[in-house]
A and B are shown apart, each in its own frame.
Chain A
Amino acid sequence: MELKEFNNQVHPTPDYPSPYSSQHSLRLRTVPAQDTSAVQCDWASPPEDAEDSNEPQNLRELPLHMSLKRAVWQVQQMKVPVVSSSWNIKQSKTFHRFCEVAKYILSYFVLWKRGIQRIGGHFGGGVQSYFLFLRFLVILNFLSCLLIAAFVLIPSIVFRSMSFNSTITLTVNLTDIETCLQYDPKPDPLMVFFTYFLDLVSGTGFMEYSYLFYGYYNNSVIESNGFSYNIPLAYLLTAAFYFLFCLICMIIRMGGTARLVIVTGGGAVGGYSMLVFTGWDHGLQGDRATKLKQNNLRHRLQVDLEEERLKKKAASLTLGQTVSLYALRVFLNLVVLILIGATLYGIAEATQFSQSRKTTGFVGLLLQYLPSMVITASNFVVPLLCDKISLLEKYSPSTTVILALLRAVFLRLVSLGVLLYTLWEQITCKGEINSENCTPCNYYHDQYKCWETRVGQEMYKLTLFDFLITIATLILVEFPRRIVVDHCSCKLTQWVGRQEFLVAPNVLALVYSQTVVWTGALFCPLLPFINTIKFIFFYYCKKITLFQNCQPATRNFRSTTSNLFFLLVLLFGWMLSSVVLLYSVAKINPSYGCGPFRFYTAMWEVVPGAVEMLSSTNKEFLFYIGSQKFSIPLFIFSCVLLCYVSALTSVHGKSVALLKSQCKLEQRDKQFLVRQIEELNATMQKLQHEPQQPQRETEPFYHAATQWNQHNNYAFDPHEDPKPY
């Protein structure tokens, strides 16, 4: 007897009942309408719940045809409900309905839901993940600019316009630092339009002394009618909370993704079956999208199979070949490092050059934008070269892609770091506060009368330049390329083809922009607001270029692992900018001539001063939290929690392995039982073989089944004709 037949006979239910046979059986079973337990047991449903509150969910989750589900529903409606828990059931039903309605209403408020769905349908999950990431950043920036506006911007506007008298206690001897107080950026009211435009674009002139930059905010402490508002404290704490808020959002978003990655084992195990069983995206519409997806899948399968073959081959390389391969890889890595080093040196030189010259006019504008131009050019050229080099390194295709991305990320973030380092060198005279230029004010006063505003201006220029370059690339490169490819049919254009929407470089551009915003937020409070608008523009421009000019890339990352990767890179950018924040708050002397922190030796000084003014119980509480008595037990407790969670993980992993082996054992048991039944059947047939009595061939089986282990199974009446169920 074949195993399949055995499966179908021993289990009372087939895996999915066909409607014809079950309808017959349903008629037989629904005659005793009160006896519903038989009906509920006979379908292969998930664990049965006796509670009526789960009925709707249970019915929906049955993989049956609608007619069968309706029959079950009818039968269940006829069942007399259990009296005691009816109020509970009603409560949970109304709660479920309320949740559904709430979910439905909230889905209206999701930003760009329909647009992103359409993008996913036409271009697949990889491109969709870029737009989801962009939406996340837009919402993050919008919420942060609300935070900053509420605590810093609006109070400043209100207090300035009402010209409150501010009470500041000056405890600094002003005589030595008179030169440091000179700062007069008030713009010339008679301005040529060209100068106006230059100022708008470079953040100088009328833009410099405005709410955009740090220098405009006052160090006022407003106290009136029992209401007190300390603007410097608000400024500092808002910046700190902004960073914490962004960190929490990123961690929450990473948490869901990371959990999936760990559960699926990083996608390494079960790669082929996962790809084949879950690879098709049923949301795709249109022949073009389908063909592209099919090409994509075929490409991935072929690449994976080829990788496997290569791995087998690589394991069989001789010693000489392995050594030469590794030597080649080391050499090429050195080449890449030299390339990146040269780029960073170029950025440092460009920054120094542009900071030291002070020409006006168009040349001056170009000079001011020199660091941004060098960074953008290097971010464009160097990854291309790295790609070409990595082809020589003979890694497997997936390793090549990851390596290229890591190098691009490294280049982008480190180039920003170099720019900041060069600025720091200039502002603090290479860290030596006692050198000649930095003597009275502890910073290079001649060039940087208000150094925070200058740093803010640099970040503002980077943001603006990034935006301009993206729009310019769109208009000047992508649209003409599409027009040329569509209308000119020579071989060169067909080989170049339409623009591919590469997800990874685009996402890295977003990460870079966000890092710039984070770095500049302390010095340019309106930068998150500018960034929100910029990203909203990006969404619409990228969407237009996607649908008009692009074809989907043939090679794609798996969307979820790359989501985690992008969030990790964003986190790395956050760490870089928080280092900048911490250093400038704690170490560098704020400008004397501008800003809310003048006359403090460090920005941080505001906080101890404010804490001193609190009531004693609050002070003691804060001191206790900051002391070692609290933080060390907290640290120990979180270590214990971590150990517990990792122990739980390993236990779950072990139980999964145990269940897998149990599955294998059960199958072997089944095969053993089938063999036993076959032998038993053969023996019975031999013993009862008499030509006169017409015996059904199946009767011995029933007889054996009813006599299982010396118990009579009364479900089978051996004298009844077996019905054709």
Chain B
Amino acid sequence: MRSGRDPCAFSRMDLFTRKKVQPTEPILIPHGELTFLTKQEILMAHKIFSELQDRENGPYSSRVSMEKIHTLPELKSNPFRKRICHVFSTSDMKDGSLSFEDFLDLLSAFSDSATLEIKSHYAFRIFDFDDDGTLDARDLEKLVNSLTGETDDTRLTGEEMRQLISNILEESDIDKDGTVNLSEFQHVISRSPDFVSSFKIVL
């Protein structure tokens, strides 16, 4: 539907008016209505995205690879950066590469004004390491390891991990099927006052 479009076209058009450049050119949508970002933030995102594209070899490719995205200072040390790229990527090759619109989706979900529902939805997908729609014990174990550090001396011991995972499932698994699904996750998140302010990336 919109693959292969030159993202540099954005810089030639006003993002906020529907302007038909050529008869065959698709109509541009006001991104301001489809994301939680302000105009300034979208323009800043476009600037940063173009810089990332410039560093890639070859002509303007419409996607930026995951490694390039990981060079951004906001994501460089985030232990969930790989999962974040995979969740927001619409690439056919499932390599985590992001187009500009995926990048906007990412920033919108992590922005100041995004709602709790959006943030909890994407947080759930980020934590779902095996993409099966629920958080089972393996997902939780990988999640805890990401939180505490991946090296051997920073992980919890096996005993502690078992105790922790059984406590988590006892607290949040309401229907007792051994996994945490989206609504149970959102139920836990809704009681946390810190979540909205901590699930934030500002460029």
| Chain A residues within 8 Å of B, Cβ to Cβ | 3-4, 7-8, 14-16, 19-20, 23, 46, 56, 59-61, 63, 65-67, 69-71, 73-74, 100, 104, 117, 125, 260-261, 263-265, 269-274, 276-287, 289-291, 294-295, 297-298, 301-302, 305, 308, 558-560, 660, 663-664, 666-668
Contacts and interface: CB of A to CB of B under 8 A. Distances in A.
Contact of B148 (A269, A271, A301): A301
Interface centre among A19, A273, A289, A558 (most CB of B within 10 A): A273
Interface in B90-128: 90, 92, 101-102, 104-105, 108-110, 114-115, 117-118, 121-123, 125, 127
A20 B164 contact: no
Given A20-B92, A260-B193, A301 B29 contact: no
B78 interface: yes
B152 interface: no
B191 A667 contact: no
Interface stretch (B7-15, B49-57, B62-70, B182-190): B182-190
Contact of A125 (B2, B101, B118, B198): B198
A284 B77 contact: yes
26 contacts: A3-B177, A4-B133, A46-B117, A63-B122, A66-B31, A66-B35, A100-B38, A117-B202, A272-B168, A272-B171, A273-B167, A273-B188, A274-B188, A282-B199, A287-B76, A290-B77, A297-B147, A298-B154, A301-B144, A301-B160, A305-B164, A558-B194, A559-B194, A660-B174, A663-B174, A664-B176
- Top 6 A-B pairs, shortest CB-CB distance: A667-B175, A66-B101, A298-B148, A290-B77, A260-B193, A63-B121
A260 B116 CA distance: 14
Nearest to A55: B33
Contact of B200 (A4, A16, A283): A283
Contact of B185 (A261, A277, A290): A277
Contacts of A558: 194
B88 to A, nearest CB: 8
Given A276-B143, A666-B175, 4 more contacts: A63-B121, A66-B105, A100-B38, A261-B193
Contacts of B74: 285
A291 B2 CA distance: 40
A272 B174 contact: no
B122 A272 contact: no
Given A63-B118, A287-B77, A276 B198 contact: no
B158 interface: no
Contacts of A261: 193
B172 interface: yes
Contact of B73 (A285, A295, A667): A285
A73 B167 contact: no
Contacts of A56: 33
Given A66-B105, A283-B200, A294-B154, A60 B191 contact: no
A566 to B, nearest CB: 15
Contacts of A284: 77-78
A67 B2 contact: yes
Contacts of B154: 294-295, 298
Nearest to B81: A282
A417 to B, nearest CB: 34
B117 A298 contact: no
A273 B193 contact: no
A190 B114 CA distance: 66
Contacts of B104: 66
Nearest to A261: B193
A206 to B, nearest CB: 49
A63 to B, nearest CB: 4
Contact of A277 (B31, B125, B127, B164): B127
Contacts of A663: 174-175, 183
B129 interface: no
Nearest to B100: A66
A280 B191 contact: no
B193 A270 contact: no
